[in-house]
Structure 1
């Protein structure tokens, strides 16, 4: 039996040994900052779950590896020799870099014939419109520009090469599609609808949604599959988008698990493990 390496809590070591004794599969969740363990606490079935910052524990001790952050994915991509081949599924470095940068992702969509599914950028927009940073999470560094005074207030950001402007898509409903893709096929697809009270909002920490529910958006699944297959995307991701006149407008793709995946975590893990074992 493999022994756990350094920086392992005593209570985790006990759980690990019990899991091995009972032939329960172990999953190591790798992340950057604390918080995911609380989000998934007591939700995971069929596996014994462990949560550690990447680089702090020997991954070869575990049956499966799930990177929860982009930094963890990049760590695996750079140190593949440390990880058993059939223990994880991650996007390529190209996919991570392209998807993590909102402007690069837009340019990729435009180049590959998907521009109709993305809001316009860097044009002369009516108010309101968005000023957003190329790279960001949880709605940070995105601003709703409603008038000329706000344009003056964010003058430095407008001049920065790290920011771009984007068309504001109206509507109180925003959607998150949680996806697992392998061999250019989507094998896991769950969508949540978030409804907001505010007329103008940015999904994230600043604005709280009024309601949340799972919905069937299988009609849009082929679009996401086509986008992911053009870049040979492997692993977990999530799309944020709105629907206007039965057409989707994608704000971003996160090349990592979205936090609301916790509502489907056991179904997702089953598909994730299948993608590793069967393909």
Structure 2
């Protein structure tokens, strides 16, 4: 019997999942995540940060249908400045590009919105003229050293009951060293990659957080070591092509919650 999978609505990811998922094994649905209707599914997968809280209602009646990070960890990872500060405070400072003050005098650097997806609110500041054009920074943004290199990586991880159950890594070729990947600057190509040294690092971070559920790390390599750009506490867009493997790994790792 096919497993019934409920995904949250998403304007780009939901159509892609519908195209790629193995319908011989899975019966996918897409809807807003709310109410008792979630109880009829074998697995519930939120596709955005706001959907995570609603998905918690899927775990009821002694059965686990969703593995989700704790609310405080969702909030931490969703705040890029707070997440960087947590990483520095918990022994991972070597993998965090330096945080800068409100008026950096060394270029290039990046101005980042504390909240947002796909490059929203982020700008590469290459010189004093670009800084002046942006104007003063506000409390919703921060400055950080720009990591050089045209290659950016994403590592998708699923952690359930303290163990990594699924990994998937891609390399984005941005074509230029200081691009800000997003809707304005898409990758020229996306190719599978081996996570290498990033996997034990990211696993250690999730262990230190006590993180359970789905996430993705974005990073660059500098002198062979990962420099973390952000941690997203959600299903990442480039996971859609391997959604069947992800769903199967998720189902295989889940067990009923004790009454």
TM-score (norm 1): 0.85
1:60 to 18, 29, 39: 39
Report what 1:75 is aligned to. 54
Unpaired stretches in structure 2, ≥5 consecutive residues: none
1:107 to 61, 81, 85: 85
The structural deviation recorded for 1:82 is 5.9
Kindly name which structure, 1 or 2, has the bigger radius of gyration based on alpha carbons: 1
- SS in structure 2 of the partner of residue 233 of structure 1: coil
1:210 aligns with 2:197: no
| CA–CA distance in structure 2, aligned partners of residues 206 and 84 of structure 1 | 45
Number of aligned positions between the proteins? 253
- SS in structure 2 of the partner of residue 136 of structure 1: coil
> 1 or 2, which has the higher helix percentage?
1
* 2:55–2:66 contact (8 Å) kept in structure 1: no
Unpaired stretches in structure 1, ≥5 consecutive residues: 1-22
Report what 2:161 is aligned to. 183
The structural deviation recorded for 1:265 is 1.1
- SS in structure 2 of the partner of residue 271 of structure 1: helix
TM-score (norm 2): 0.91
Alignment of 1:70-219 (within 5 A): 70-77=49-56, 79=57, 85-123=63-101, 124=104, 126-156=106-136, 158=137, 160-219=138-197
| CA–CA distance in structure 2, aligned partners of residues 231 and 34 of structure 1 | 31
* 2:49–2:234 contact (8 Å) kept in structure 1: yes
* 1:125–1:167 contact (8 Å) kept in structure 2: no
* 2:58–2:65 contact (8 Å) kept in structure 1: no
Moved more, 85-94 or 180-189: 180-189
